Structure 1
């Protein structure tokens, strides 16, 4: 029996040593709050963590898939947590927890992307098979995981993300010095997130370039790092005159950018959760998004939703928000109220409940 000893987690560091967007935010904030309640995390890094591309991916596949499940035991940790969708390929010596953020049903064209997606699905399928508990971030994602991988309800847990209210709030008084070096347009639509083709960025670029938006003097600002299959998107952002591509920005600029934007746009074809839309809402910024994946569930009626992901429909929604002060005010008020539903302290409490149940069960 564990007695009063603090719970110890062996945590794969794949999404911590490289920022990959929402998965990184989730892991960082979760373990920050778990530390406050006495949970200790041993971050596991393979020898190839410092490499890039295929070499790093193979190093993690081997370590996460086989090495750590066979070497981590109750002398080192009470459980093994994979927070970024993939992980163990064999059964482990301690209970395994898998966090799977969602399972997109829409395939992205391209051979490289197709190979990656097929491999990803096979790895997720095996991880969900060997995991004692599968955590996901929305009811929509839970349905996707159950349908795709046959995970029974008793092993599947829905735990929504939280909001860091110390960063994401409407008060912009300290933002100007941080944003000044960026020389941002006076009015702009912001898209923030990695350049995953599912984010539908080319359609957003075309939408903001349409006459009904350009005549308003509004530009598009995109912040986020590359992703598999994003090379055409990167080229598009680099050559389009009405776009400012900032690349991946430091964490301290994320909330100020959201507060400075006239609209935050995420017309994605799939999201397991869509944390940036809730963060933008917490900043008091109106949101235009899609009705795909978990976005309707997470935005809770507080966003302007497009059902057609083509440029004309996105432009029409953006124009409504940019020209209708009453709609903008309503979206801001509803968005701030919706964002208050999400707290990292509650997310951490639910994880601790799941972790403790597994550990006490394995100890009896």
Structure 2
């Protein structure tokens, strides 16, 4: 089958979202499909996994809210043309891009819905944020309604979208995020002399900054390693200075495998978050890597994968009404607990590779074989 995947972000910048797109594109290619990816001109080198995937680039700036409408229009228009010329199935990444595709006449496509866009602080914090959110919700709703099938990262995300726009749940397919097995195999753990608690990922508004501070104050913890960048990094810098937290290490983004080496050599990995509908509906990529690396976890309740990890004994899940740092203290002071959680995490992660997730997506395309639409 010929498949055209449209994505509005820079695939040369690693993140949970871009890794999902490149993993699916490469995975569909490995399953025997002819795949074209339509994306903005990348600023850096594309992942090697896309070497056998046809790339169609569009001149469009990335990285700002103001550039989104024009970029989405150019990407959607190119993707529609590519799909028509190839007689291909169209797959949109993100519901807002699909909404723009809907406006120019696309329909019956597969929508890979990473999250809900309109509730995001990205829009609420802009001038005339309420008006902007309404506009984004309208565009997003079009994108979801005109899709033939909708792939979401969690069952809670499917329920949210179904209730928001009145779409039957049978049109949704849940394919969570995953991890790259080759990345895990190439890790060289960077062990600490003391007790290191680590976090890896985007420092987005969902993060609970005070939990990082409270953990760094624990006498049982020698280092809190925070790897990543984002909106909350400045808050963490201020907290480190104001509370004189020498144990709080803010690494920012790290090149290559350095981040995973630090995580793999840590005593414990964390994900403290504020509660919200989007937080509960998320599928945090970091948790799949924590598990694959065999690192015990203390994580906030909410996402589906948190419940899965808790059920198998790989993570301590902290209700939002309880103390996150006290749960960290309990785990790091029990060597037997750490060993048991580590073994459980590795076992749980065995079926969570991007290879397996891509097979699930390929199975969805198999449903279309011999049919004109998904409806």
* Residue 129 (1) aligns with residue 145 (2): yes
Shift of 1:232: 4.7
Distance 1:289 1:105 in 2: 26
Which segments of 5 or more consecutive residues in structure 1 lack a partner in the other structure? Answer: 1-6
Distance 2:35 2:248 in 1: 41
Q: TM-score, normalised by structure 1?
A: 0.81
* Residue 348 (1) aligns with residue 352 (2): no
Distance 1:105 1:16 in 2: 21
SS in 1 for 2:257: helix
Distance 1:24 1:260 in 2: 26
Equivalent position to 1:208, from 206, 215, 222: 215
Range 296-305 or range 317-326, more displaced? 296-305
Match of 1:57 in 2: 68
Shift of 1:163: 3.0
> Residues 183-220 of structure 1, C-alpha deviation per residue, up to 9 Å, x if partnerless?
x77432111111111122x122222233xx1x224222
Distance 2:256 2:148 in 1: 33
> Residues 73-106 of structure 1, C-alpha deviation per residue, up to 9 Å, x if partnerless?
4323512212234312226456411111344998
Q: Count the aligned residue pairs.
A: 341
The answer to whether the 8 A contact 2:229-2:253 is kept is yes
Alpha-carbon RMSD across the aligned residues, in angstroms, is 3.2
Shift of 1:132: 0.9
CA distance 1:234–1:218, shift in 2 (3 Å): closer
The answer to whether the 8 A contact 1:266-1:290 is kept is yes
Match of 1:330 in 2: 340
Match of 1:299 in 2: 309
Equivalent position to 1:167, from 183, 206, 223: 183
The structure, 1 or 2, with the larger RCO (C-alpha pairs under 8 Å, 6+ apart) is 1
Distance 1:51 1:30 in 2: 21
Equivalent position to 2:170, from 147, 154, 177: 154
> Residues 87-126 of structure 1, C-alpha deviation per residue, up to 9 Å, x if partnerless?
1222645641111134499875963395576555443322
How does 1:69-80 map onto structure 2 within 5 Å? Answer: 71-80=81-90
How does 1:1-364 map onto structure 2 within 5 Å? Answer: 7-17=1-11, 19=13, 21-46=15-40, 47-64=58-75, 67-68=77-78, 71-89=81-99, 90=102, 92-93=105-106, 95-103=108-116, 111-112=125-126, 120-168=136-184, 174-176=188-190, 186-200=194-208, 202-210=209-217, 213=218, 215-227=219-231, 230=232, 232-233=234-235, 235-236=237-238, 239=241, 241-268=246-273, 269=275, 270-271=279-280, 272-301=282-311, 302-308=314-320, 313-358=323-368, 360-362=370-372
Q: TM-score, normalised by structure 2?
A: 0.79
Which segments of 5 or more consecutive residues in structure 2 lack a partner in the other structure? Answer: 41-57
Range 90-99 or range 288-297, more displaced? 90-99
Match of 1:4 in 2: none
